[in-house]
Amino acid sequence: MGQKDKDYYSITYQTKTMKQRRDVFFAIADENRRAILTMLAKENKPLTVNTIAADFDVSRENISKHIRVLSESGLVSTNFIGRENYVQLEAVRLAEVHNWIATFESFWKGKLHNLKKLVESKNKKA
Amino acid sequence: MKEQIKIEQFIEAPVDKVWLAITDCNLISEWLMETNFKPEIGYKCYFKMPAMPGFDGNIQCEVIDVVENKLLVYTWQGGWMKQPTTVRFTLQPKDDGTLLLLEHFGFEGILGNLLKRMMSGGWGKKIRTIIPSLIKQKL
């Protein structure tokens, strides 16, 4: 990631409203957060915040912050069992991400339909 | 996971008319979205669309390839995309009109790797069963 991208993302992060911060795609735009999701998917079971943090070079506070963003976006849920905070993947939100390209496909289909109507009407007039 | 979008659209008009509609910024604004697009290789432009889930509405583009009446390629990068994706229009005369092929690809770097690993991690089955039920709900 270049410096320009870093600036862009930190600005994005600071100026987004809470609603936008909870956006799934904002949540997965960060490398560490994607790594956390991948780790949870690989283990295929809830992991404690400490277990996750042990795998990263960044501070535990930093990991907690990332987990909060993931949790706000609905991609993970957190549950205290005893004194340990367990993080779990949420399949429904993941399915939305999985479905995202299908959403984009219908976007283009609609737009190309507009294009067809526009060009054909202009062609008939000419 | 589908990683590439490929849509064919037949348009009852000659290729030069279709070409104009996909390269003239005023016409693009009519069917796609507000833009300052110019069909010049290396030209950087924007598309502005209403915000929707997953988008703040701003898309940055750079023109990669222009072959008049035949081929138009530009990059496409929305706010959350770390790497640009690519949009390619291919025009071909067919019968009394134009066969337009739209391809949108390069999603692999953004979601693909993550999802591929998730799919192989035992989540594939869960997601595959959830998606049909989600689609049913939407219907």
Q: Look up the ipTM and state it.
A: 0.75
| Residue where the block lists tokens 């997953």 | B54
* pLDDT for A24 beyond 70: yes
A14 and A62 housed in the same domain: yes
What is the C-alpha to C-alpha distance for residues A126 and A120, in angstroms, rounded to an integer?
10
**pLDDT digits over B48-82, tens only?**
876 655 556 788 999 999 999 999 999 988 755 66
Closest-approach residue (CA) in chain A for B131? A95
Can you give the pLDDT at residue A93? 75
Can you give the pLDDT at residue A10? 39
Closest-approach residue (CA) in chain B for A115? B31
- Asked if B74 and B85 count as a contact pair (C-beta separation under 8 A), the reply is no
**Number of domains, chain B:** 2
A69 and A35 housed in the same domain: yes
A82 and A102 housed in the same domain: no
Mean pLDDT calculated for residue range A23-43: 79
**pLDDT digits over B89-117, tens only?**
999 999 999 999 999 888 765 555 555 55
**pLDDT digits over A93-110, tens only?**
776 666 667 777 888 999
Can you give the pLDDT at residue B111? 55
CA–centroid distance for B41 within its chain? 18
A43 and A97 housed in the same domain: no
* pLDDT for B138 beyond 50: no
Name the minimum distance, in Å, from the CA of B41 to any CA of chain A.
22
* pLDDT for B118 beyond 60: no
Can you give the pLDDT at residue B108? 62
Q: Which residue has the higher pLDDT, B123 or B87?
A: B87
A60 and A119 housed in the same domain: no
B79 and B128 housed in the same domain: no
Residues from chain A that touch B54, judged by Cβ atoms under 8 A, are 23-25, 100, 103
B122 and B79 housed in the same domain: no
For residue B10, give its domain range: 5-106
The reply to whether residue B9 touches residue A116, judged by beta carbons under 8 angstroms, is: yes
B14 and B66 housed in the same domain: yes
- Residues within 8 A of B (CB atoms), A 52-111 only: 89, 91-92, 94-105, 108-109, 111
**pLDDT digits over B18-54, tens only?**
999 999 999 999 998 899 999 999 999 999 876 655 5
Can you give the pLDDT at residue A28? 75
Chain B residues touching chain A at CB-CB below 8 Å: 1-3, 5, 7, 9-14, 17-18, 21-22, 27, 30-32, 53-56, 79-82, 100, 102, 104, 107, 111, 114-115, 117-118, 121-123, 126-127, 130-131, 134
CATH code assigned at B38: 3.30.530.20
**pLDDT digits over A67-96, tens only?**
999 998 888 999 999 999 999 988 777 766
What is the C-alpha to C-alpha distance for residues B43 and B74, in angstroms, rounded to an integer?
9
B10 and B61 housed in the same domain: yes
Q: Which residue has the higher pLDDT, A18 or A86?
A: A86
What is the C-alpha to C-alpha distance for residues A73 and A68, in angstroms, rounded to an integer?
9
Q: Is A45 on the interface with B (CB under 8 A)?
A: no
* pLDDT for A43 beyond 50: yes
The reply to whether residue B123 touches residue A91, judged by beta carbons under 8 angstroms, is: yes
Report phi then psi at B32, rounded to 5.
-110, -75
Q: Which residues of A80-111 are buried (b: 16+ CB within 10 A; e: fewer)?
A: eeeeebbbebbbebbbbbbbbbeebbeebeeb
Name the minimum distance, in Å, from the CA of A106 to any CA of chain B.
10
